[in-house]
Amino acid sequence: VLENVMLGSEPLTRLKSARGEAKRKLMAIADRFGLPVKPEAKISSLSVGERQRVEILKALYRDARVLILDEPTAVLARPEAQRLFETLRDMTKEGLSLIFISHKLHEVMAASDRVAVLRGGKMVAERRTRETTPGELAELMVGRKVERPVRHDHQIGAPVLVADRVRVADGGETRLDDVSFTVHAGEILGIAGVSGNGQRELAEVIAGLRETTGGTVRMLGEDVTAWSPGARTEMGFGYIPEERMHDGVIREFSVSENLILQDHTR
């Protein structure tokens, strides 16, 4: 973390003493704005939210007075986003100016003092946040009245995915502990939790990318706990990972080549 923060501003001489000074400055900034960080931690070991925190600290370390945050909450859980808003408010109290770019209207309303709307590359409106509504902003964004879809009740079908007391341990540390749930045909099951609390491991277990240390996974009545990812795909299971650019696609390949990868068995 410290090396990433110092990168580009480190002195050419006295690097060892400068590192100590940089660490003290970093920790002072972290305490001042409520952005806890471990200076010696590896970036690769941090969650997405923690990495974003490092980027903010990097800008503050360089004494930035104007910060642009482009979709800063896109990968944050709600508690993390709320903590970010509190930090942003603390920054403005210190005299910093912030540009908060987001398509999430409830976050724009919560985080901003004024809001400007871009459409087609043009500034179509500017309002004081307290004088507008999410509905008005939505209409300004799309250029027409927004009709909210009407949700209709529908019949929930039979179970298609059942996790029963799934357990996962990694390096002696428990990642999942007796997790059980059922997903039925025609329903959406939401799994809530702050990043780093087992969501990734659970998804990988269901996809067949990670072995369990206990429990079972059943799909369409079949015990698929020991099945390969390919066998589960043939049953109709799809997995869209959190880190899509790292785990989902090959960036050097074309869209067509990426699309056929799942069907390529040899």
DSSP 140-198: HHHTSPPPPPPP-------EEEEEEEEEEEETTEEEEEEEEEEEETT--------TTSS
Closest CA to 91 of 70, 55, 66: 66
Residue corresponding to tokens 């059943």: 218
* pTM across the whole model: 0.57
pLDDT of amino acid 78: 78
The third-level CATH classification (topology) of the domain covering 2-142 is: Rossmann fold (3.40.50)
User: What crossing angle do the helices spanning 15-33 and 48-61 adopt, rounded to 10°?
Assistant: 110
pLDDT of amino acid 264: 61
DSSP helix/strand/coil, 252: coil
pLDDT of amino acid 11: 63
pLDDT of amino acid 15: 60
Give me 238's structure tokens.
């799809």
Domain ranges of the chain: 2-142, 159-261
Residue corresponding to tokens 């390919």: 230
Task: Please give the Cα distance from 47 to 42 (Å, whole number).
Answer: 11
Closest CA to 3 of 38, 40, 35: 40
Task: Name the average pLDDT for the chain.
Answer: 87
Tell me which DSSP letter residue 248 carries: I
What does the pLDDT look like over 110-130, one tens digit per residue?
A: 889 999 999 999 999 999 999
pLDDT of amino acid 187: 92
Give me 213's structure tokens.
């240390």
CA dihedral 18, 20, 24, 27 (to 10 degrees): 110
pLDDT of amino acid 240: 84
User: What crossing angle do the helices spanning 78-93 and 48-61 adopt, rounded to 10°?
Assistant: 10
CA dihedral 220, 224, 230, 232 (to 10 degrees): 20
pLDDT of amino acid 66: 94
Do 66 and 88 touch, CB atoms closer than 8 A? no
Q: Which CATH number fits domain 159-261: 3.30.43.10, 3.40.50.720, 3.40.50.300, 3.20.10.10?
A: 3.40.50.300
pLDDT tens, position by position, for the chain (266 residues)? 888 888 877 665 566 667 888 899 999 998 888 888 888 889 888 877 788 889 889 988 988 899 999 988 877 777 778 888 888 998 999 899 999 999 889 989 988 999 999 999 999 999 999 999 999 999 999 888 877 777 778 889 999 999 999 999 987 888 899 999 999 999 999 988 766 788 889 999 999 999 999 999 999 999 999 999 889 988 888 888 877 777 778 888 898 888 887 666 55
- CATH topology match: 2-142 vs 159-261: yes
Do 180 and 164 touch, CB atoms closer than 8 A? yes
